[in-house]
Structure 1
Amino acid sequence: MSVLDPEAIVPEQILTSVCTGLVVIDRCSNIVRLVHYTAQEYFECHRELLFSNAQANIAAVCITYLSFGIFGNGYCYNIRELNLLLQENPLLDYAASHWGHHARGETEETSAEAVLQFLRKESNVACARQVLTYRRSQRFSASFPEDSFGLHLLSFFGLKKVMRRQLQHGARVNSKDMYHRSPLAVASKNGHDGVVRLLLAQPGIDVNLKDTDRRTPLLLAAKNGHDVVVGLFLARRDVKVNLWDLDGRTPLSFAAGNGYAAVVKLFLERQDVKVNLWDYYSDDRTPLSFAAGNGHAAVVKLFLEREDIEVNSKDIKGRTPLLFAAENGHTAVVELLLERHEIEVNSKGWLGRTPLSLAVKNRHEAVVRLLLGREDAEVNSSDITGRTSLSFAAGHGYTSVVRLLLERAEVKINLWDSGNRTPLLFAAKNGHEEVVRLLLEREDIEVNSRDQDDRTPLSFAAGNGHAAVVGLLLKRGDIEVNSKGRLGRTPLSLAAKNGHDQVVKLFLERADVEVNSMDLYSRTPLSFAAENGRDGVVRLLLEHHDIDVNTIGQLGRTPLSLAAKNGHDEVVKLLLARADIEVKSVDLYSRTPLSYAAENRCDEVVRLLLVRMIST
């Protein structure tokens, strides 16, 4: 048949009936399936007996379908036309993508004639090739060299017997598809060693032909881990093993980076292979660097058996194989590399970070233990921002790693980074209670260290509401409770501003806390809490015996004025409960609390203020 006859399509009822209940059609998904998994198990166990010709039959159906006249117009010239063709012909996608898989293997001999007849229909083959390319790469193309269809399709599906017959009729072995890939390249990429062996035996075959990405058949085979195919190429003297592709990667580089140990081993047996050849478009990384960075211990072990291997090779950013392995937490690879006596444990990357600092930063505890097992590991090394391993561990709350670092006698716990921030400051800022506790156990800890904005660990912990950390710091006898930052704000002021009730309560239990401390703009803890509607904090502050409820800010505004202006009726109510509150205070713009509340239509605040003013 050359067209699909709708009248010949078997109704669903007949399909299910002749299958005697073993097959059902799911009404929701419209999927045909076996009625029970035991039926599937039975058919799978007796596949060859019951369905000996299944693959050949499916191949014949697909080839017949692809040979229909509707697909004889060749390839589509735009993606809209192609999508419409796929939509109107539902079997086209599957048939074009899988006909060759069904025709390969034991059924290839019986399917050979049908395949050859199909390949003679150049327009139909062009259509099938376009669909296959589009579905595999999701890239539309209407540019296909006409002489590339047959052999390339046979190479893609691995149809060795059919290809032999094509080659006998003078098919061009070095023909190129739209990516400039030869049939040999296509077969190599897909691991069809039988087809590769057949093509390599052809006179005039170009084994080093490059595609548009400058990738050779050998590179494509190595990149995809096809060790048998790679072995076929490496057995030839004319194959070039060290060619770079467009990205500067070599066949060995891809095999190592993807962890194909069997392929790497084959390459290392070649005397002309360059094991330390860097990839100039991939940051100058070597094959060992790629293998180490991706955690392929078996491949790394093969490289380390070579006397000429450069274990400390650096890429364009100064990163070594050890640094990549440590950063990514590949414990087994790190262990292998550390066995080399010439390994540079403290090598730094472009940001000045060592393997240890990167392992700490990414919380790879097992790697940290291995690196700290080396006496020459520098625990106080800092990156370009001044951050040390301890700084990273403390800032991220890695308690176990902090404990490991503190066991080193030479560790400096008060080192500043570029912003004058210490490990304790980072831990306090991020609320890591256990880390803070460990650091405070050290006698040489500087609890009042100040960053470039004059903020202390206590200031950050209070401002961020970390009550447990604040509690630990306040137990220190040398703690500066009222330390001021660059803007003159105390830890209490910051906690009040951000509404951290529990932290404020801890400060108010201290006899030495300055409850009315002012910042550079004459703002107090109470004015911050009132302005931001922190009624819980306001309630706590008003209970303090030294609180001044009428402090005047830079613009002459009192806590009541700020609360009224922003419509915080609960705060206004608390303040108005004070007998000493000044209801009619005037700021620098001659505005009263009532004026602000009325302007902003804060009805409840206006009502509260009027009641208080009338009563007084």
Structure 2
Amino acid sequence: MDEDRLKVLVKLTQDGQFNCVENNMKTYGLMEAARDKHFGSSGDTLVHYAARHGHLDILDYLLKEVGTNVEVYNNDYKRPLHEAASMSHLACVSYLLQMGAMVDSLKKADWTPLMMACTRRNLSVIRELMDYSADPFLKNKDGWNAFHIACREGDPLVVAHLLDVAPDVWKTKSKTGRTPLHTAAMHGCEEVANILLERCRYASDDKDSCGITPFMDAVRNGHISLAKLLLEKHQASPTAVDTIGVQPVHQVAVTGQEGALCFLVRELQVDVNQRATGLEFTALHYAAKEGHASTIKTLLDLGADLQARDKKGRTALHMASIGQHAEAAKTLLRFGLEDYPDASGITARALARKTDVLQVFDCS
């Protein structure tokens, strides 16, 4: 019976019904049972629920009257402070800190409350944590610090504040070698990228462990204005290569960013038929392999060589068949690409396995 009544307390706590929580505790003598009770697969306590939903009165009651420890943790090692910070509940954050919560406690994957706060655009919570000496230089298991996370979320006020308080916090890389500038570029956070370029000293075309530059991140995700910012303020190269010899023109073909393709070829005069090292794919090969029929049309309009062959003598039609992309194969055939065998004598049709792809060749 107590188990059922405790479950009722969870709902009452989530809903913020303080009087009902208090009455149920006293009426059924649940204070001792509820003090350290962990619920469900998450292992949350009532304090976690109160902090997550921002119910300060219930939080105060649970800590002071019921006697739950302010550092109680769930199965992910999240403390109440993690919950309050992640949901931007300033009053709860302030209260927990006043009650002695450890400001830099770690949950699973080594996330601090400050990191959790930086996933939200709430400068007040971040200020409060840093007023209690939260360390913005700590890194999680992926090598990201709070500044890196803030740059992903894209709030310029948060990013500027972190730089004001900790001017060297930008000097960080993830375990895969990615800088906050990479992250801002990938997510199209142009205002943040502008702050980083003005206030930080990132090297032009700094590469992560895969050889990706911030400019590559910007264009392959379709953030053209941010890419222009990197060209103008950071002297980014539109033809840099990653670790496998792929250039931005190839990357945008993979992601099907046709606006970025036009920007690279028409405005920056990048060679649309530039080959990646290794297998010597062109952008057309990559677009066909991914099945981007519309991107294939755009590439051909930009002057892509329909007959281009890779190192193994394969055309874009072979790539479309390897990927089992019927529409891409149909588009290439419609534009006049014939099913020539590759260097090993294998035709694109021979690589087709799906019925709809085979029908494309049979009807051509």
- 1:414/1:5 Cα in 2 relative to 1: closer, same or farther (>3 Å)? closer
Q: Which of 100, 108, 112 is the matching residue for 2:51?
A: 100
- 1:99/1:424 Cα in 2 relative to 1: closer, same or farther (>3 Å)? closer
Once the 2 structures are TM-superposed, how far is the Cα of residue 72 of structure 1 from its aligned partner?
Answer: 2.5
- 1:237/1:155 Cα in 2 relative to 1: closer, same or farther (>3 Å)? closer
Taking the aligned partners of 2:208 and 2:341, their CA distance within structure 1 comes to: 38
How big is each residue's C-alpha offset from its partner over 1:240-293, in whole Å with a ceiling of 9 and x where there is no partner? 22411223332232333234444434433434234522221xx22222323333
Once the 2 structures are TM-superposed, how far is the Cα of residue 386 of structure 1 from its aligned partner?
Answer: 1.3
Q: Contact between 1:210 and 1:217, CA under 8 Å: does it hold in 2?
A: yes
Q: Which of 59, 70, 78 is the matching residue for 2:33?
A: 70
The structure whose Rg is larger is: 1
Residues 110-149 of structure 1 aligned to structure 2 (within 5 Å): 112-120=56-64, 123=68, 129-130=73-74, 140-141=75-76, 144=77, 149=79
Residues 450-469 of structure 1 aligned to structure 2 (within 5 Å): none
Q: Contact between 2:70 and 2:101, CA under 8 Å: does it hold in 1?
A: no
Unaligned runs of 5+ in 2: none
Q: Contact between 1:213 and 1:246, CA under 8 Å: does it hold in 2?
A: yes
Residues 87-486 of structure 1 aligned to structure 2 (within 5 Å): 98-103=49-54, 112-120=56-64, 123=68, 129-130=73-74, 140-141=75-76, 144=77, 149-167=79-97, 172-202=102-132, 204-236=133-165, 238-274=167-203, 276-280=205-209, 283-306=210-233, 308-341=235-268, 343-345=270-272, 346-348=274-276, 350-375=278-303, 377-389=304-316, 391-392=318-319, 396=326, 398-404=329-335, 416-421=341-346, 430-432=358-360, 436=364
**Which residue identity does 1:243 align to in structure 2?**
T
**Cα RMSD between the aligned structures?**
4.1
How big is each residue's C-alpha offset from its partner over 1:48-104, in whole Å with a ceiling of 9 and x where there is no partner? xxxxxx9997253697589842233466xxxxxx64897xxxxx78x666533543x
Unaligned runs of 5+ in 1: 10-53, 76-81, 87-91, 104-110, 131-139, 407-412, 437-616
Taking the aligned partners of 2:136 and 2:349, their CA distance within structure 1 comes to: 62
How big is each residue's C-alpha offset from its partner over 1:465-502, in whole Å with a ceiling of 9 and x where there is no partner? xxxxxxxxxxxxxxxxxxxxxxxxxxxxxxxxxxxxxx
Q: What TM-score, normalized to structure 2?
A: 0.74
Q: For residue 60 of structure 1, what is the aligned residue in structure 2? A: 18
**Which residue identity does 2:342 align to in structure 1?**
D
Taking the aligned partners of 2:171 and 2:333, their CA distance within structure 1 comes to: 45
Once the 2 structures are TM-superposed, how far is the Cα of residue 331 of structure 1 from its aligned partner?
Answer: 0.9
Taking the aligned partners of 2:215 and 2:246, their CA distance within structure 1 comes to: 12
**Which residue identity does 2:281 align to in structure 1?**
R
Once the 2 structures are TM-superposed, how far is the Cα of residue 219 of structure 1 from its aligned partner?
Answer: 1.5
- SS of 1:155's partner is helix
- 1:329/1:182 Cα in 2 relative to 1: closer, same or farther (>3 Å)? closer
Q: Contact between 2:51 and 2:92, CA under 8 Å: does it hold in 1?
A: no
**Which residue identity does 2:186 align to in structure 1?**
G
Q: Which structure exhibits the higher relative contact order, with contacts defined as CA atoms closer than 8 Å and separated by 6 or more residues?
A: 2
Once the 2 structures are TM-superposed, how far is the Cα of residue 348 of structure 1 from its aligned partner?
Answer: 1.3
Q: Contact between 1:293 and 1:324, CA under 8 Å: does it hold in 2?
A: yes
- 1:348/1:123 Cα in 2 relative to 1: closer, same or farther (>3 Å)? same
Taking the aligned partners of 1:152 and 1:415, their CA distance within structure 2 comes to: 60
Taking the aligned partners of 1:430 and 1:253, their CA distance within structure 2 comes to: 42
Once the 2 structures are TM-superposed, how far is the Cα of residue 195 of structure 1 from its aligned partner?
Answer: 0.8
Taking the aligned partners of 2:157 and 2:129, their CA distance within structure 1 comes to: 15
Q: Contact between 2:205 and 2:214, CA under 8 Å: does it hold in 1?
A: yes
